[in-house]
Amino acid sequence: MIELIPDAGISQQRLDAMYNYRLERIRAVMAEHNISLSILTSPVNLRYAVNFDEYLMFQSHIPTAHLFIPLEGPVTLFGASQRHHANVDSYQGSRFATPFDGGLDLSRQSQRIVADIERFIRDHQLHNAGSRIALERFSPLISQQLVSKGYRLTDGEALIEQAKLIKHPTEIDCIRHSIAVAELGIHKMHTALQPGITENQLWSVIHQVNIAHGGDWIEGKMLASGQRTNPWLQEATSKVIEAGDMVAFDTDMIGPQGYLADISRSWICGGGRGTAEQRDAYQHAYDEIHHNMELIRPGVSFSELSEIAFARKKEYREQRYVCAFHGAGMSDEHPKIYYGEDWQGNGYDGVLEENMVICVESYSGVKGGRDGVKLEEMVRVTANGYEKLSTYPYEESLLK
């Protein structure tokens, strides 16, 4: 039986205030960008907007629900099977614009959705001069029909990412709770790590803890051992973990209330000092994480963070992680702050603000080497710097 961690007194009243804040954030961004109607399908963004929590992974690849958020007027949810969702004023039947539900010719179903959109705009007088519709990932047939009818479209995903940036205090507490659940799972994984266990068996431990607490899912199977830790991004398999193997993982856990716990640690199976290669990689990742956390403060730009980030040793540069920092909330979120080597091709600018949540990343592994180390922390941007939200201890025996 999995013991349960208390939810830190997050009452329904506090949750309701958080739901109101999230909807207000969306509408504030809509007003800023002259958007009269937002239409959402992403399960993460439906959760953010109205706490939609039905078959979220199914919704991610066979969307059966979509949400209309007008700048002013009734929030309308199409296709929900339940009627408890926050701030939804009206429920309508589903319009199935997927091959699974609507067949291989989606033209008729797309026309019905477009007719719904036009009726909604007309009934609520949303077609103001110069206004736009923010649309998430529908069939391109829908976008094409709307454009042919003269509607101006913009990307709904970018709109919601902007809204998500600044967290409500209850969001921060929900993130703390997800982290606490994840760290209980990490502790149980650490205890279960013995020679002879497989990567999949070890990884299943944190899943059980998450589900026992009402968590949602884990984004991947980011656990590897031994030579499979180098290079990174090799997911868990049936490989048997042996004594002396480095074991590295990244939780990527969507926990209770839909909030992310994104923490990485690396251990030696059986403990001990490990090899010189293992200790050097661990120290390098540890130094990077701690240097880069100290750079976090409101007002610092993404480009500046990229420029002043930890100076990685030459031997660890080629296999650097995909970013040095990234946002977090209900999943990995904007921004993604690249290493200097990747900035020219991929980087974009912006500024850190108070109550953003940022993940600080490091993967350290020499190309052609046996072992790699993955470490990651979650921090909140405070008025004067940062607050570290993740707390799981490091392996002192691997630090020089």
Asked, for residue 246, whether it belongs to a domain, the answer is yes
Residue 273, CB-side half-sphere exposure with 13 Å CA sphere: 3
Instruction: Give the domain CATH number at 103.
Output: 3.40.350.10
- Do both 129 and 232 map to the same domain? no
Residue ranges with strand state E in the chain = 35-40, 66-70, 76-78, 90-92, 132-135, 153-155, 217-218, 223-225, 246-250, 253-254, 260-261, 264-268, 325-328, 332-337, 357-365, 372-381, 386-388
Q: Tell me: the pLDDT tens digits for 5-63?
A: 988 789 999 999 999 999 999 999 999 999 999 999 999 999 999 999 999 998 999 89
CATH of the domain at 226: 3.90.230.10
pLDDT score for 370: 95
- The rounded distance, in Å, linking the Cα atoms of 154 and 132 is 7
**What pLDDT is stored for residue 137 in this prediction?**
85
Same domain, 199 and 346: yes
Number of residues that make up the chain: 400
Within a domain: 4:
no
In terms of domains, do 110 and 175 share one?
Answer: no
DSSP 38: E
Residues 6+ apart with CB under 8 A from 146: 114, 117, 133, 135, 153
Question: Do 329 and 250 lie in a common domain?
Answer: yes
Residues 123 and 237 in one domain: no
How many helices and strands (H and E) does the chain possess? 13, 17
- Same-domain check for residues 216 and 243: yes
3-state helix, strand, coil in the chain (%, to 5): 40, 20, 40
Question: Are residues 192 and 264 both part of a single domain?
Answer: yes
Compute the distance between CA of residue 87 and CA of residue 289 in angstroms, rounded to an integer: 40
User: Do 70 and 129 lie in a common domain?
Assistant: yes
List the domain range (segments joined by +) for residue 306.
169-398
For residue 298, being part of any structural domain is answered with yes
110, 140, 164: which is the final residue of a domain?
A: 164
234 φ/ψ angles, rounded to the nearest 5 degrees: -105, 120
Q: Which of 113, 134, 164 is the last residue of a domain?
A: 164
Number of domains in the chain: 2
Which stretches of the chain drop beneath a pLDDT of 50?
A: none
Our CA dihedral for 45, 48, 51, 55, rounded to 10 degrees, sits at: 30
- Is residue 173 in a domain? yes
pLDDT value, residue 1: 77
Asked if residue 129 and residue 224 are part of one domain, the reply reads no
Q: Which of 112, 131, 164 is the last residue of a domain?
A: 164
Predicted confidence at residue 365, as pLDDT, reads 98
Q: Are residues 93 and 203 in the same domain?
A: no
Q: Do 257 and 354 share a domain, yes or no?
A: yes
Please, are residues 94 and 78 in contact by the beta-carbon 8 Å criterion?
yes
Q: Assess if residue 2 is contained within a domain.
A: no
Q: What is the pLDDT of residue 129?
A: 62
